[in-house]
Amino acid sequence: MIHYTCDRCKRQINIADQTRYIVQIDIRSAVDHSQEELEDDIDHLAELHQMLEGIADSDIEEESCESSHHGRYDLCPECHRQFLKNPLGRDATLALGFSNN
Ligand SMILES: [Zn+2]
């Protein structure tokens, strides 16, 4: 049986009677748009070329960049609820003030 652990509270998620929530985070820096498009085209062509040559490697897509972050986290139902209340981890008092609006 596969055991999942909540990435927030580190409790084990018993998928037999609990729902496991997956949070996917994809952060990118907001770079100049025209430049980004140009780079995307180049990357795409290079990728296609590598595929044609049969040397495509899954690592190529995982190009690590300091300004971007990909994350995938498991959450238990309780942490999922807390996450929805405050997805950006804002100060608790600020979040409270916001919800009292
Ligand atoms: Zn949790």
58 vs 37 pLDDT, higher one: 37
Q: How far is the CA of 73 from the centre of ligand 1 (A)?
A: 10
Torsion of CA 81, 85, 88, 94, to 10 degrees: -150
User: Cα of 76 to ligand 1 centre, how many Å?
Assistant: 4
Output the CA 4–ligand 1 centroid distance in Å.
11
Residues 27 and 69 sit within 8 Å (Cβ to Cβ): yes
DSSP letter, residue 84: H
**How confident is the model at residue 60, as a pLDDT?**
46
Going from the C-alpha of 15 to that of each of 8, 81, 96, the distances in angstroms are: 16, 17, 31
Q: How confident is the model at residue 49 (pLDDT cuts 50, 70, 90)?
A: confident
pLDDT (tens digit per residue) in 58-80: 554 445 557 788 899 999 999 99
For residues 28 and 22, give the distance between their C-alpha atoms in angstroms, rounded to a whole number.
Answer: 20
Beta bridge partners, 13, equal 4
